[in-house]
Amino acid sequence: MLPVGRFVVILYLLSAMTVMGQTTELPVIELDYRQSNYSVGRNMLMLEDPTNALQLSNVEGKPELFRPMTQEILNVGPSASTFWLKLRVVSKMQQEWFLHVRAPFLKQVDLFTETRPSYDQIEMHITNVGSALPYHDRPVLTNQTILPLNLIRKDTATIYLRVRSNSIIRVPLEISTLQHIYENSQENDIAHGFYFGLIAALIIYNLFVFISIRERSYLYYVFYIFCVAMNISYIKGHFLQFMVPHFPQANHSNYSGSLAFIFALLFTNSFLNTSYYCPRLKKLGWLIVVSCVAIIVLSLSGYLLLGFQLNWLTVGFFLIYSNLIGFAVLRQGFKPAKYYLMAFTALLAGILIFMMKDMAVIPENWFTEGSYQIGSGLEAIILSFALANKLNTYKREKEVTQAEALAQAKLFSQQLIGSQESERKRVAAELHDSLGQSLGMVKNKVLMIKRDTEKPQLREKQLRDLEEMVTDAIQEVRNISYNLRPLHLELLGITQSLHSLLEDVVETGLIGLETDIQNFDNLLTKTNEMNVFRIVQECFNNILKHAQANAARIQISKKDTMIAIRIEDNGVGIGPVATEKGGFGMIGIRERLNILNGQIEILENKPSGTIINIQIPF
């Protein structure tokens, strides 16, 4: 009974022979001294093996299995099939020739060269290279795929090339001397050196900026362009050469590409502040994260081609996502977003040109081959400029904020001085009009007592009157002192002090008051308790003076690490201008809350009035 694998191969060979039915004449490529480079082009035959099971013994000597090339360069896009190429070569001069496969990313490249050193002797030279094999196993140690042909002078050699890829199948072939290959690779080497040098300089610069200012956008940018550079180095063969020469399992664009998308997403969210400008669109980024994780999982599980195809889809989705986010943020007035859009547009153009070249939609030349590098290089430069522009924008905004804060502080200082003068005037008036008059009356009463020393009954009454006057004067001193600083705050605590304050509010007879105050003594420092007392005092002063309310309610509660104060009234309410700016009293409340690290929220009460919510941490 035949093994299953052999049975599949036999079925495939029979079907191929049925389809082709006849032998195709294969031209011979003649190599002589007139030139040092020959493009193979269509001078070869091609065989697709979707089973990946054919061996040299299955295709050797069976020209009917092959079909003529219809392309100058074999290019079929992403494919899981193995492709066999057959060509015939004769060398007319004593010269060492090499087959140059200008696609360093091919997973498997096996060269079989059949020569005849003599009439009755056949030799088969086998060379195995590819991106899935260790770098040091290559016959020529370079990032390019170069295979010696081992030709014998004036002998027509039959060459079979077996190629397979975990990404796209694109096999540009030329036969050249080693001197020609190295002489003509100098321009590419200079271009690669310039690109990677530029990326290295931008990484070092922005890494130092991150260390200086601790802005995460710079760190995400550094990791992003590093991963993009690693992705390009894989395509050019440098990743295997320098990064993983002994670990070719990691040599695939799926890994660097997925990490590049993740860091690009982090950079986008940090640079454009998507949490603030477009939180809903930001959630779409999770699809990119899921896609990247799926690519890595598929690649680690051995499904590299499927991961590569998902990678292409992720490219399209991310570029749509980045443009939506960029335009949404730009419309809301964040000017650095225009540089973000310019950068990713340059990358988009480069990737699209490169992909169309890989799919044989547009011809291959120096520009289409280097479009990915050009686009990513422009993107790296523009994004670096965008980061600098964002830093300058923040600097200008900080200067404006500081100027506004300085103006506010100046205004507050002026109002504070005015308030101090008003308070001194009030205290002076109270001392003069109230305490001064009381002491004057005490003085007069003393004089009357001295005058009526011979009238015991009258003298007794005047002493009682004097005692009442002194008692009233003492009470007036206490009232004045209490308004300046409530001493019982230190004696009774903040909770009882607020109860006393609110009792005084009720005694005015202007409003009805409902209280619900939990004990929160000793949760704050004495200084902060004084600030809380003054805030509540100022709120009720405003209600009594401006709200025209006849009912109010205060609720103070503590939860977790927060003291919550809620004050409601049924007055005329407070306008939006007063809410944002307010008079000196509201400015004072906000200044005290800044000291307490607290927050205030002013809402409209239904059907009328105002609600003030205050949160103070402890």
> What φ, ψ does residue 141 adopt, rounded to 5°?
-80, 90
600 within a domain of the structure (yes/no) = yes
E strand intervals along 119-185:
121-129, 145-148, 156-164, 168-171, 173-176
Query: How far from the centroid of its chain's Cα atoms is residue 328's Cα?
Result: 16
Mean pLDDT along residues 531-559: 89
Residue 391 has pLDDT above 80, yes or no: no
Residue 254's pLDDT is 93
* Model confidence pLDDT, tens digit, residues 470-480: 777 776 766 66
Residue 362 has pLDDT above 90, yes or no: no
CATH number at residue 528: 3.30.565.10
Taking residue 375's Cβ as centre, other Cβ atoms within 10 Å add up to 23
Residue 10's pLDDT is 47
Residue 15 has pLDDT above 50, yes or no: no
Structure tokens at 315: 């490219």
618 within a domain of the structure (yes/no) = yes
298 within a domain of the structure (yes/no) = yes
Distance from C-alpha of 565 to C-alpha of 611, rounded to nearest angstrom: 10
603 within a domain of the structure (yes/no) = yes
Confidence of residue 538 (pLDDT cuts 50, 70, 90): confident
Structure tokens at 104: 């360093």
Residue 344 has pLDDT above 50, yes or no: yes
* Model confidence pLDDT, tens digit, residues 156-185: 999 999 999 999 999 999 999 999 999 888
121 vs 582, higher pLDDT: 121
Under 8 Å between Cβ of 398 and 213: no
Taking each helix axis as running N to C, give the angle between helix 186-213 and helix 366-430, from 0 to 180 degrees, rounded to the nearest 10: 10
Confidence of residue 396 (pLDDT cuts 50, 70, 90): confident
430 within a domain of the structure (yes/no) = no
614 vs 522, higher pLDDT: 614
Q: Are 223 and 163 in a shared domain?
A: no
Under 8 Å between Cβ of 100 and 39: no
Q: Are 108 and 210 in a shared domain?
A: no
* Model confidence pLDDT, tens digit, residues 91-113: 988 889 999 999 999 999 999 99
Residue 11's pLDDT is 44
* Model confidence pLDDT, tens digit, residues 462-508: 777 777 777 777 767 666 666 666 656 767 788 888 888 888 888 88
The lowest-confidence range among 252-261, 353-362, 378-387 is 353-362
Q: Are 268 and 152 in a shared domain?
A: no
25 within a domain of the structure (yes/no) = yes
Polymer length of the chain = 618
Q: Are 31 and 112 in a shared domain?
A: yes
Which of residues 353, 382, 404 is at a domain's end?
404
Q: Are 217 and 341 in a shared domain?
A: yes
Distance from C-alpha of 514 to C-alpha of 46, rounded to nearest angstrom: 93
Residue 288's pLDDT is 94
Q: Are 226 and 128 in a shared domain?
A: no
Q: Are 262 and 375 in a shared domain?
A: yes
* Model confidence pLDDT, tens digit, residues 445-458: 677 777 766 666 67
Distance from C-alpha of 173 to C-alpha of 574, rounded to nearest angstrom: 81
Mean pLDDT along residues 398-403: 78
412 within a domain of the structure (yes/no) = no
Confidence of residue 121 (pLDDT cuts 50, 70, 90): confident
Residue 294 has pLDDT above 90, yes or no: yes
Percent of the chain residues topping a pLDDT of 70: 86
Confidence of residue 50 (pLDDT cuts 50, 70, 90): very high
CATH number at residue 25: 2.60.40.2380
Under 8 Å between Cβ of 248 and 240: yes
Residue 428's pLDDT is 67
Q: Are 164 and 193 in a shared domain?
A: no
Which of residues 379, 404, 429 is at a domain's end?
404
* Model confidence pLDDT, tens digit, residues 567-598: 999 998 876 545 555 555 777 788 888 888 89
Residue 198's pLDDT is 95
* Model confidence pLDDT, tens digit, residues 436-447: 667 777 777 677
Mean pLDDT along residues 306-327: 91
The vertex-279 CA angle with 274 and 283, nearest 5°, equals: 100
Residue 7's pLDDT is 44
Domain that holds residue 229: 188-404
Q: Are 369 and 247 in a shared domain?
A: yes
Q: Are 262 and 340 in a shared domain?
A: yes
Structure tokens at 1: 């009974």
Confidence of residue 5 (pLDDT cuts 50, 70, 90): very low
Residue 578's pLDDT is 52
* Model confidence pLDDT, tens digit, residues 256-281: 999 999 999 999 999 999 998 999 88
Which of residues 184, 219, 245 is at a domain's end?
184
Residue 565's pLDDT is 94
Residue 243's pLDDT is 92
Number of domains in the chain: 3
564 within a domain of the structure (yes/no) = yes
Q: Are 387 and 498 in a shared domain?
A: no
Residue 568's pLDDT is 93
Residue 544 has pLDDT above 90, yes or no: no
Residue 617's pLDDT is 92
Residue 342 has pLDDT above 90, yes or no: yes
Residue 300's pLDDT is 94
State the chain's mean pLDDT as an integer.
85
Q: Are 39 and 77 in a shared domain?
A: yes
Mean pLDDT along residues 204-217: 90
Residue 1 has pLDDT above 70, yes or no: no
